[in-house]
């Protein structure tokens, strides 16, 4: 039952800046593998967010643009409207997509823009040093919720996949995770499906990926995946929320 | 039919198409919504892209994304909308992408009013967004000039890989004048393979392109900013445009005025000439780069006693005029803001009061 | 049929996620640091490896590769 | 040839066709002919260059202009004065409704449907062939259709308003006349009158036209120009 396994071509040799155990690296690899498998490296444009993945362009051998905080879906819209033949994906975190960029993602999804969004949800602002995100769990301590997220004051964490699925415009919306090998295998299938829908010119596609942030959670990588499994997955249910067919 | 009667707003939209720009993203705002209305009908006719974005913020990034992958793009808005776009403008300038922005100014601050104003002079010429960037800013005084400036804006944006802004007031957008679209101003597509993220296959090479504004290394960011500065310095050498009026006379006062305000000033100057009072005018057609030498030279005339900056703002351009006159003469300001365009009579009265 | 399990110790950040998911308990973190000052993973019990690639799938840094034939190979002795 | 119009006259047309200028000058023309005239500014679309700009001048001539309440006069708001329905129910000898441009500008007519029903009205489409989208008969008919759909009223006549403002030549006037004559034949709509700017009038051969001519003295001019005083005409 053995397998060969190697770095995908669309991924560069550069070592990432991510902390040990940060799952961004896994998600990068899945995207790169899908791009390799679909043979679209030469016509793909990625859009890096503001957030920990701001330097994502260093890790892919692809044309890349770098957006301002939250604006990646607007940039992707601009590209797809003038060059529908290009394959475009945005790579965004929870602060970027669910907070400052909420308007951009909702409207891009609602217009049915034919690009793919990889939405990395790790329940915290990573880059700026562990502040509360719109997806931070109730009671979760962050640098701006030192006593734990008080849902009476700041509301419940936003379930983006469900929110976007409520739009009437057809789309492909799924929530996956990369905290265990079996989830990773499924996540890759979802990422591939998302890109395929784009290739077919069918619809907007978004893969939310439940992820970890050991550094800002104050846990070891192994404890972090356990915390995500026990705390996040019961709230952020995995699965397909919407399909265009 | 050679000439056609058009509103400034319609003419601006048509001029972009005639210049070879078929990609327009915008958000409605008075007094320029006719551009979007016009192009929502016209773009489908010419196979172009028309998209109404969800906000001016989003629109500025639609332009950024599209421009960064090599497309020729433009948008139009009015003052509060330009404030929202200023974030994107800063990124576009930092990433060195060409794009054309048209601001049909209305009164401010805040919601202000919908009538003509020139109160966004600072915003256009001194910033608006963050960081060390400049826009090439042109200010038309007629619908025909707006057409020509729009058509010129695209090659300039591409030459400098920098956003270009057209600064018009509400009158330019709303008034109707006969216009022609000069064929010779149509731009050919320029090759952007060196930098645009148009897909490696498009370029037939394995070299990837990256459009970004982040420089974590202080030295590299400084280098980047120096390179941008060199571009702005080159604009100062090569792109200054202005018009002189009644400058051969022995004028006693010199008016500096731009946009439709300058047309009121021309009428005022004609009226004063009839009365035997000579007044000259420098009309900047580019606000950045500002016609520094032209103003200085005009202010150096022996007969001239005073320089008056006349603008529909509470005194913004006057600061540039003062800078250019270098203390040679007193520099005065006259203006009105709020939509009440000064009349020729009021201009005459103001000029006389300074003499 | 020869498979080869290879760990690029200098890419490894010693996060230990692969150690936790290995079904055969093959992997262990080293006591010696790599060029980036992390304690990288190594195959403490290589003879137990079934080349299932679970460690590769879990590794955030693409530090582990497996080379060899793609076709099925005889099952490992129990 | 006199312009023969009374009752309720609704002036429609594509955006920028010159409805307001036609309306103001038509009002003055009919007032001079001895009719009692009122105008309602129903341009809820365009905030610039509306009838309300000429309100004072018209008032001096005894022409009542119904505009939105003063505090909203320059607002970017679609405000329909309740007075309008009243003036339709009790029209003066000539009641002019100056509509906004295109189909959007006449939506409000559908809202006034109750007041308008059963009344004798003229709905006249102003056409300037030097404007975009109405430089062909096809374009004019498309706009006619859109306006009729939105207003739920039928257009009953055409007003030829060919001009390039200050740059209009005598030739342009004749070309424009030929255009609207052709449009009249094609559409079956009568050509009610054509317009000629006052400054061009001396050069125009009036015998060229088989319809009445409305003299236009431009009122909606940019601030650096003077409008021709309407009041002087009354002498």
Residue A236 structure tokens: 């952020």
Residue D72 Cα distances to A42, B114, D79, angstroms:
57, 12, 8
Contact A42 B69 (CB under 8 A): no
**Residue, of D81 and A180, whose pLDDT is higher:** A180
- Spell out the domain ranges in chain B: 4-187+226-238, 242-354
- The average pLDDT across C46-69 equals 94
The predicted pLDDT at position B286 comes to 98
In this complex, the residue of A42, A66, A82 whose CB is nearest that of residue B211 is: A66
SS3 category, B161: coil
Find, in chain A, the residue whose alpha carbon is nearest to that of C7.
A6
CA–CA distances in Å: residue D139 to residues D16, D143, D144, D153: 14, 6, 9, 19
- What is d(CA B135, CA A53) in angstroms, rounded to the nearest whole number? 30
Asked if B50 and B39 touch (Cβ cutoff 8 Å), the reply is yes
User: Taking CA atoms, what residue in A is nearest to B89?
Assistant: A68
pLDDT digits (tens, 9 = 90+) for B143-183: 999 999 999 999 999 999 999 999 999 899 989 999 999 99
C16 lies within 8 A of chain A by CB: yes
pLDDT of residue D19: 93
Confidence of residue D87 (pLDDT cuts 50, 70, 90): confident
State mean pLDDT over D215-232. Answer: 76
- Which tens digits make up the pLDDT trace of D124-168? 999 999 999 999 999 999 999 999 999 999 999 999 999 999 999
Query: Do B58 and A67 lie within an 8 Å CB cutoff?
Result: no
* CB B281, CB B264: distance < 8 Å: no
Cβ <8 Å between B266 and D130: no
For B332, phi then psi, to 5°, come to -115, 160
CA angle C27, C31, C32 (to 5 degrees): 110
Nearest-neighbour CA in chain B from D131: distance (Å): 5
Give C1's pLDDT tier (boundaries 50, 70, 90): low
pLDDT tops 90 at residue D233: no
Enumerate neighbours of C (3 or more CB pairs within 8 A): A
Contacts of B153 (CB under 8 A, 6+ apart): B19, B74, B100, B136, B138, B164, B166
Nearest C-alpha in A relative to B72: A82
Lowest mean pLDDT among B150-164, C7-21, D211-225: D211-225
**Is any Cβ of chain C less than 8 angstroms from the Cβ of A180?**
yes
Q: Which of C6, C52, C61, C63 to mutate to test the interface with A (most CBs of A within 10 A)?
A: C61
Residue window 194-213, chain A: list those with CB within 8 Å of chain B. none
* Distance of alpha carbon D198 from alpha carbon D216, whole angstroms: 6
Enter the tokens of residue A44: 């793909």
D215 vs D205: CA distance, rounded Å: 13
Contact criterion met (CB < 8 Å) for B38 and D132: yes
- CB B349: neighbour CB atoms within 10 A? 13
Given a cut of 90, whether residue D49 has pLDDT beyond it is no
Domains and CATH numbers, chain C: 4-67 (3.30.70.20)
More confident residue, D48 or C42: C42
Cβ distance of C60 and A7 shorter than 8 Å: no
| Contact residues on chain A for C57, CB-CB shorter than 8 A | 5, 26, 181, 184-185
Label residue D102 by pLDDT band (50, 70, 90). Answer: confident
- Contact (Cβ atoms closer than 8 angstroms) between residue A127 and residue A216: no
Q: What is the 3-state secondary structure (H, E, C) of B318-342?
A: HHHHHHHHCCCCCEEEEECCCCCCC
Average pLDDT of the residues in D180-200: 96
The half-sphere exposure of C51 on its side-chain side, counting CA atoms within 13 A, is 24
* A226 in reach of chain B (CB within 8 A): no
pLDDT of residue D48: 61
Q: Select from B153, B181, B105, B144 the least CA-distant residue to B8.
A: B144
pLDDT at residue D56 greater than cutoff 90: no
Contact D193, D212 (CB under 8 A): yes
Alpha helices in B69-217 (DSSP H): 79-94, 121-126, 143-160, 170-174, 200-203
pLDDT the model gives residue C63: 97
> What's the CATH number of domain D7-230, 3.40.50.720, 3.40.50.300, 3.40.50.80, 3.30.470.30?
3.40.50.300
Q: Using an 8 Å CB-CB cutoff, list chain C residues near A217.
A: none
Q: Do C65 and A5 touch (CB under 8 A)?
A: yes
Q: What does the pLDDT profile of chain A (245 residues) look like in tens digits?
A: 567 899 999 999 999 999 999 999 999 999 999 999 999 999 999 999 999 999 999 999 999 999 999 999 999 999 999 999 999 999 999 999 999 999 999 999 999 999 999 999 999 998 888 999 999 999 999 999 999 999 999 999 999 999 999 999 999 999 999 999 999 999 999 999 999 999 999 999 999 999 999 999 999 999 999 999 999 999 999 999 999 98
pLDDT band at D230, cuts 50/70/90? low
Question: DSSP characters for B6-47?
Answer: EEHHHHHHHHHHHHT--EEEE---TTSHHHHHHHHHHHHHHT
How much is the pLDDT for D41?
82
Residue bearing tokens 């102003």: D126
What is the rounded CA–CA span in Å between residue C1 and residue B69?
Answer: 47
C chain contacts of residue A29, beta-carbon cutoff 8 Å: 62
Q: Degrees (nearest 5) of the Cα angle B89, B90, B91?
A: 90
Q: pLDDT at residue D78 above 70?
A: no
Indicate the CATH number for domain B4-187+226-238.
3.40.50.970
How many residues does this entry show for chain A? 245
Q: How far is A85 from chain B (nearest CA, A)?
A: 9
pLDDT at A3: 76
Out of B65, B200, B212, the one facing A77 most closely (by C-beta) is B65
Residue D231, pLDDT score: 46
Rounded CA gap, A142 and A125, in Å? Answer: 9
CB distance from C40 to chain A under 8 Å? no
Which residues, at least 6 apart from D54, have a Cβ–Cβ distance to it below 8 Å?
Answer: D24, D65, D219, D220, D227, D230
Flag whether pLDDT at D45 surpasses 80: no
A–B: how many Cβ contacts below 8 A?
Answer: 131
**C32 pLDDT above the threshold of 90:** yes
Q: What is the DSSP string of D44-89?
A: -S-SSS-GGGGHHHHHHTT-EEE-S-GGGTT-SS----THHHHHHH
Least confident of B339-353, C5-19, D92-106: D92-106
- Which residues in chain B come in under a pLDDT of 70? 1
DSSP-derived pairing of the beta strands B306-311 and B331-335: parallel
Closest alpha carbon within chain B to D48? B174
pLDDT > 90? residue C71: no
Q: DSSP 3-state assignment of A226? A: helix
In this prediction, residue D68 carries a pLDDT of: 66
Which residues of B fall within a CB distance of 8 Å from A74? 53, 57-62, 64-65
A75's tokens: 């940039």
From D15, D132, D224, residue closest to B263, measured CB to CB? D224
Contacts of B30 in chain D (CB under 8 A): 47, 76
Place of tokens 């929530």: A175
Nearest to B166 by CA among B76, B229, B265: B76
Query: Rounded to an integer, what distance in angstroms lies between the CA atom of residue B255 and that of residue B97?
Result: 36
What confidence score (pLDDT) does residue D107 get? 82
Q: Suggest the residue from D176, D224, D225, D226 to mutate for an interface test with chain B (most B CBs closer than 10 A).
A: D224
**B145 in contact with chain D, both atoms CB, cutoff 8 A:** no
Confidence of residue D189 (pLDDT cuts 50, 70, 90): very high
Judged by CB atoms closer than 8 Å, whether chains meet at B114 and D222 is answered as no
Are C18 and C27 in contact by the 8 Å Cβ rule? The answer is: yes
CA distance D70 to B137: 37
pLDDT recorded at residue B302: 97
Tokens coding B159: 């030459």
Q: Do A29 and C62 touch (CB under 8 A)?
A: yes
- Reported as a pLDDT band with limits 50, 70 and 90, residue D44 is low
**Which of A17, A46, A82, A106 is best to mutate for the B interface (most B CBs within 10 A)?**
A82
Three-state SS for B87? helix
Are C56 and A5 spatial neighbours (Cβ–Cβ below 8 Å)? yes
A4 touches chain C (CB under 8 A): yes
User: For chain D, what are the domain ranges?
Assistant: 7-230
Eight-state DSSP code of residue D131: S
CA-to-CA distance for D210 and D212, rounded, in angstroms?
Answer: 7
Rounded to 5 degrees, φ, ψ at D197 are -65, 145
CB-CB under 8 Å, A29 with C14: no
pLDDT at res. D227: 64
DSSP codes, B193-242: TTT--S-HHHHTSS---EE-----SHHHHHHHHHHHHHHHHHHHHH---E
Tell me what pLDDT residue D235 has.
38
CA dist B36 and B57 (Å) reads: 16
Cα–Cα distances (Å) from B223 to B69, B215, B218, B234, B269, in that order, read 24, 10, 9, 17, 48
Nearest CA of chain D to the CA of B67: how many Å? 29
Of A63, A76, A85, nearest to B208 by CB-CB distance is A63
Residues 216-235 of D with CB under 8 A from B: 222-225
Kindly list the distances between the CA atom of residue D91 and the CA atoms of B37, D8, D31, D40, D42, in Å, as whole numbers in the listed order: 35, 7, 15, 11, 16
Token code pair at residue B314 = 């509470």
d(CA C40, CA C38): 6
Nearest 10 degrees: Cα torsion A179, A183, A189, A195: -30
Minimum-distance CB partner of B61 among A44, A75, A106: A75
Asked if chain C contacts chain A via 3 or more Cβ pairs within 8 Å, the reply is: yes
The terminus-to-terminus CA distance of chain D in angstroms comes to: 21
Residues B253, C6: Cα–Cα separation, whole Å: 84
Q: Please report, for chain A, the start and end positions of each structural domain, with discontinuous segments joined by +.
A: 24-242
CB contact under 8 A, B343 and D223: yes
Nearest to A183, CA basis, from A125, A221, A140, A237: A237
| CA D101 – CA D121 distance, rounded (Å) | 19
Rounded-to-integer distance, Cα B225 and Cα B217, Å? 12
| Alpha carbon of B3: minimum distance to chain D alpha carbons (Å) | 7
Tell which residue, D69, D101, D83, D105, has the closest CA to residue D39.
D83
Residues 6+ apart with CB under 8 A from B271: B344, B345, B348
pLDDT at B334 (0 to 100): 98
Q: Bridge partners of A138?
A: A149
Residue showing tokens 């431009």: D218
Task: Tell if the CB–CB gap between C58 and A26 is shorter than 8 Å.
Answer: yes
Phi, psi for residue A219 in degrees, rounded to 5? -130, 160
Q: Which contiguous run of DSSP H or E holds residue B345? A: helix B344-354
The C-alpha of C32 sits at a distance from chain A's nearest C-alpha, in angstroms, of 16
Distance from CA of A168 to the nearest CA of C (A): 36
CB-based contact D16 B175, cutoff 8 Å: no
CATH number (3.40.50.970, 3.90.1150.10, 1.10.579.10, 3.40.50.720) of A24-242 reads: 3.40.50.970
Let me know: does A48 contact A67? Beta carbons within 8 Å. Answer: yes
Question: Would you say residue D47 has pLDDT above 60?
Answer: no
Architecture per CATH, domain B242-354, reads as 3-Layer(aba) Sandwich (3.40)
The answer to whether the Cβ–Cβ distance between C54 and A181 falls below 8 Å is yes
Q: Give pLDDT tens digits for C34-56.
A: 999 999 999 999 999 999 999 99
pLDDT tens digits, one per residue of B287-334:
999 999 999 999 999 999 999 999 999 999 999 999 999 999 999 999
Best mutation target, D20, D44, D48, D173, to test chain B (most B CBs within 10 A)? D48
Residue A138 at interface with chain C, using a CB cutoff of 8 Å: no
In this model, does residue D90 exceed pLDDT 90?
no
Contact D164 B260 (CB under 8 A): no
Q: Do domains B4-187+226-238 and B242-354 have the same CATH topology?
A: yes
Residue D234, pLDDT above cutoff 70: no
Asked if residues B198 and B192 have their Cβ atoms less than 8 Å apart, the reply is: yes
């Amino acid at each position: 039952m053995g397998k060969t396994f190697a770095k995908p071509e669309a991924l560069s040799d550069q070592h990432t800046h991510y902390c040990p155990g940060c799952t961004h690296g896994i998600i990068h690899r899945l995207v790169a593998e899908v791009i390799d498998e679909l043979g679209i490296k030469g016509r793909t444009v990625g859009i890096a967010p503001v957030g920990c993945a701001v330097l994502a362009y260093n890790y892919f051998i692809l044309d890349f643009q770098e957006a301002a905080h939250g604006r990646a879906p607007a940039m992707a819209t601009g590209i797809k409207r003038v060059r529908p033949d290009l394959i475009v994906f945005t790579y965004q975190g929870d602060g970027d997509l669910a907070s400052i960029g909420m308007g951009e993602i909702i409207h891009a999804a609602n217009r049915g823009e034919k690009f793919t969004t990889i939405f990395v949800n790790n329940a915290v602002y990573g880059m700026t040093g562990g502040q509360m995100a719109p997806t931070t769990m109730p009671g979760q301590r962050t640098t701006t919720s030192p006593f734990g997220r008080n849902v009476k004051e700041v509301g419940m964490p936003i379930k983006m996949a469900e929110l976007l699925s409520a739009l009437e415009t057809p789309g492909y919306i799924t929530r996956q995770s990369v905290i265990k090998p079996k989830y990773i295998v499924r996540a890759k299938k979802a990422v591939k499906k998302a890109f395929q829908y784009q290739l077919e010119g069918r619809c907007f596609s978004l893969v939310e990926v439940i992820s970890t942030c050991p550094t800002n959670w104050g846990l070891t990588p192994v404890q972090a995946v356990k915390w995500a499994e026990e705390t996040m997955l019961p709230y952020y249910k995995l699965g397909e929320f919407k399909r265009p067919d | 039919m050679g000439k056609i009667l058009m509103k400034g707003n319609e003419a601006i939209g048509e001029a972009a198409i005639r210049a070879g720009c078929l990609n327009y993203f915008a958000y409605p705002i008075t007094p320029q919504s006719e551009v979007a209305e016009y192009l929502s009908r016209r773009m489908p006719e010419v196979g172009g892209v028309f998209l109404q974005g969800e906000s001016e913020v989003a629109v500025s990034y639609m332009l950024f994304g599209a421009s960064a992958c090599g497309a020729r793009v433009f948008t139009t808005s009015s003052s509060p909308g330009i404030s929202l776009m200023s974030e994107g403008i800063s990124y576009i300038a930092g990433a060195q992408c060409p794009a054309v922005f048209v601001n049909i100014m209305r009164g401010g601050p805040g919601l202000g009013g919908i009538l003509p104003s020139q109160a966004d002079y600072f915003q256009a010429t001194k910033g608006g967004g963050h960081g060390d960037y400049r826009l090439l800013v042109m200010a038309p005084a007629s619908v025909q000039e707006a057409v020509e400036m729009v058509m010129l804006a695209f090659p300039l944006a591409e030459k400098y890989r920098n956003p270009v802004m057209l600064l018009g007031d509400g009158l330019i957008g709303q008034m109707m004048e006969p216009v022609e679209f000069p064929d010779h101003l149509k731009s050919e597509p320029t090759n952007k393979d060196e930098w645009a993220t148009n897909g490696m296959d498009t370029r037939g090479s394995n070299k990837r392109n990256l459009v970004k504004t982040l420089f974590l290394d202080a030295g590299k960011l400084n280098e980047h900013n120096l390179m941008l500065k060199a571009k702005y310095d080159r604009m100062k050498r090569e792109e200054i445009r202005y018009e002189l009026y009644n400058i051969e006379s022995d004028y006693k006062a010199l008016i500096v005025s731009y946009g439709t305000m300058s047309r009121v000033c021309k009428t005022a100057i004609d009226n004063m000439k009839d009365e035997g009072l000579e007044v000259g005018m420098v009309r900047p057609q580019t606000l950045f780069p500002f016609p520094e030498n032209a103003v200085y030279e005009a202010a150096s005339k022996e007969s001239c006693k005073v320089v008056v900056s006349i603008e529909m703002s509470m005194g913004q351009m006057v600061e540039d005029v003062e800078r250019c006159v270098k203390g040679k003469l007193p520099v005065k300001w006259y203006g009105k803001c709020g939509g009440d365009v000064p009349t020729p009579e009021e201009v005459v009265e103001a000029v006389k009061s300074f003499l | 049929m020869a498979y080869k399990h290879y760990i690029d110790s200098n890419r490894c950040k010693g996060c230990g996620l692969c150690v936790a998911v290995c079904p055969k308990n093959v992997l262990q973190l080293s006591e010696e640091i790599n060029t980036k000052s992390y304690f990288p993973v190594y195959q403490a019990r290589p003879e137990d490896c079934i080349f299932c690639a679970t460690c590769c799938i879990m590794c955030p840094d693409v530090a582990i590769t497996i080379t060899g034939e793609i076709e099925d190979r005889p099952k490992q002795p129990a | 040839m006199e312009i023969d119009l009374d009752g309720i006259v609704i002036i429609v047309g594509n955006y920028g066709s010159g409805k307001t200028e036609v309306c103001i000058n038509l009002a003055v023309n009919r007032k001079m002919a001895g009719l009692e005239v009122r105008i309602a500014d129903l341009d809820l679309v365009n905030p610039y260059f509306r009838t309300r700009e000429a309100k004072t001048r018209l008032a001096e001539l005894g022409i009542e202009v119904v505009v939105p309440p003063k505090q909203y006069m320059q607002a970017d708001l679609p405000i329909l004065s309740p007075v309008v329905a009243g003036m339709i129910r009790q029209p003066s000898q000539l009641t002019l409704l100056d509509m906004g441009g295109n189909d959007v500008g006449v939506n409000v007519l559908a809202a006034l449907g109750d007041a308008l029903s059963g009344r004798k009205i003229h709905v006249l489409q102003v056409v300037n062939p030097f404007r975009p989208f109405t430089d062909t008969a096809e374009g004019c008919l498309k706009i006619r259709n859109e306006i009729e759909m939105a207003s739920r009223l039928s257009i009953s006549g055409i007003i030829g308003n060919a001009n390039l403002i200050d740059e209009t030549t005598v030739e342009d006037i004749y070309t424009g006349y030929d255009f609207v004559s052709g449009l009249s034949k094609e559409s079956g709509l009568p050509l009610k009158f054509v317009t000629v700017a006052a400054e061009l009038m001396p050069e125009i051969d009036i015998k060229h036209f088989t319809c009445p001519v409305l003299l236009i003295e431009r009122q909606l001019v940019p601030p650096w120009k003077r409008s021709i005083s309407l009041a002087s005409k009354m002498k």
